[in-house]
Amino acid sequence: MDKKEENREEEEQVVNPWEVSSSAGKIDYDKLIDKFGCQRLDHSLVHRVQRLTGRPPHVFLRRGVFFAHRDFNEILDAYEGGDKFYLYTGRGPSSEALHLGHLIPFMFTKYLQDAFKVPLVIQLTDDEKCMWKNLSVEESQRLARENAKDIIACGFDITKTFIFSDFDYVGGAFYKNMVRVSKCVTYNKVVGIFGFTGEDHIGKVSFPPVQAVPSFPSSFPHLFKGEDNPRCLIPCAIDQDPYFRMTRDVAPRIGYHKPALIESLFFPALQGENGKMSASDPNSAIYVTDSGKVIKNKINKYAFSGGQESMELHRKLGANLEVDIPVKYLSFFLEDDAELEHIKKEYGAGHMLTGEVKQRLTKVLTELVERHQTARAAVTDEMVDAFMAVRPLPNMFN
């Protein structure tokens, strides 16, 4: 029995950067926190963020979308003490269009950048996708650039943000850190963390250090030369945790702070909450390229409802909010807390019908997607070049 199967039998859920599944139909996040050894992000931390930044916590924070962390408190300690930190997030450019799940870390990272006024590096792992998805180098690079436009459309501050593609940027100080990390990690260790097999190609084995090293400021000499080893905070979905467990293990051995993490739930598929959205099934997700009509149709046709089978039963029993996708989606994207509570209460009590909730969701998502589309249409190739230019960010900590 290989490692993957063993995990599957014991725990009935598999979460790694390439697979999110659960035989129970639903990810048990408490179990995941225990297994990974991260911490739950509790209310006191959310309040502390509010106090330190002087602005209301992001909806993803106050509703527990970002629900787990590693050493986020230390980042806040450092920030409070006047020390510097930077943000690091990324994307594997495997498809042309992003879906809503892909937007979540970027929307949240944009909030963190604005709230803490900190620099941000965004890694586009075109090398990873070239290797895992068997894309050509050229196609991976093209997708990276397309995805960069969507990322830029999220509103990042160009004076504080460096976006890079691995194929363009690996080399120099970055490559030296890859070698430093590689020396500290045995093959058995990566097998334990990632479940690689002997039939996997060595590109897979070589990749984890590539995702690790943006956690170390010296990988970006044009940004952090002369800075006193600032800490790194990584907002990401929790399936990326294995990379950073490895990174945190190595960091002190090569003279760096362990990167801190703030980790999100998975955004559920339209069909229900048993995994992430899948790029291979276009009807499992709302894409940022979808029209209002398509969004309406997808929600009405595919969004799994917790409503009852007949109106009579529904009025009597109310909706099962635990499994209802429209309510889940609203809890990610409907910013008005009072309205969300109202919907949950009315719908849960059977006073509101699935159709009404879906209609509200359609409006929320159509607005979100149309806003994104407008922003993306304004992103020029010159802007992509500017964000991706290897350059200092002179006022990045101001």
- What is the contact surface with its own copies in residues (CB under 8 A)? 127, 130-131, 134, 137, 166-172, 175-176, 179-180, 182-191, 196-203, 205-206, 208-209
Specify the residue, 202 or 378, whose C-beta has the smaller distance to its own copies.
202
Q: Is the dihedral of CA 345, 346, 352, 357 positive or negative?
A: negative
- Residue with Cβ nearer its own copies (209 or 230): 209
Q: How far is the CB of 180 from its own copies (least distance, A)?
A: 7
Tokens of 13: 């859920």
Residues 57, 37: Cα–Cα separation, whole Å:
25
Q: Is 278 helix (H, G, I), strand (E, B) or coil?
A: coil
Cα separation, 38 vs 34, in Å, equals: 7
The span from the CA of 268 to the CA of 75, in Å, is 29
CA dihedral over 39, 111, 283, 94, signed as positive or negative: negative
Q: Choose between 182 and 229: whose C-beta lies nearer to its own copies.
A: 182
Q: How far is the CB of 192 from its own copies (least distance, A)?
A: 10
How is residue 70 written in tokens? 């590693």
Residue type, 357: V
Q: Pick the closer one to its own copies by CB: 191 or 317.
A: 191
Question: Would you state the structure tokens that stand for residue 360, as one six-digit string?
Answer: 């509200």
- Min dist CB 244 to its own copies, Å, is 16
CA distance 193 to 53: 35
Q: Which is nearer to its own copies, 79 or 196 (CB)?
A: 196
Q: Residue 324 carries which side chain, given as an amino acid letter? A: D
Residue 398 CB-half CA count within 13 A: 4
CB-nearer residue toward its own copies: 169 or 333: 169
Cβ-based nearer residue to its own copies, 203 or 252: 203
Cα(242)–Cα(238) distance, rounded to whole angstroms?
Answer: 9
CB of 70 to its own copies, least distance (A): 22
Distance CA 192, CA 245 (A): 12
The answer to whether 38 touches 241, Cβ cutoff 8 Å, is yes
Give the max Cα distance, the chain. 69
As a whole number of angstroms, the distance between CA 364 and CA 371 comes to 11
CB of 225 to its own copies, least distance (A): 16
Q: Which lies closer to its own copies via its Cβ, residue 124 or residue 364?
A: 124
Q: Which is nearer to its own copies, 127 or 290 (CB)?
A: 127
Q: In whole angstroms, how close is the CB of 33 to its own copies at the nearest point?
A: 27
How far apart are alpha carbons 214 and 181 in whole angstroms? 11
Shortest Å distance, C-beta 98 to its own copies? 23
Q: How far is the CB of 201 from its own copies (least distance, A)?
A: 5
DSSP string, 243-272: HHHHHHHHGGGGT-PPPEEEEEPPPEETTE
Shortest spacing between CB 357 and its own copies, in angstroms: 46
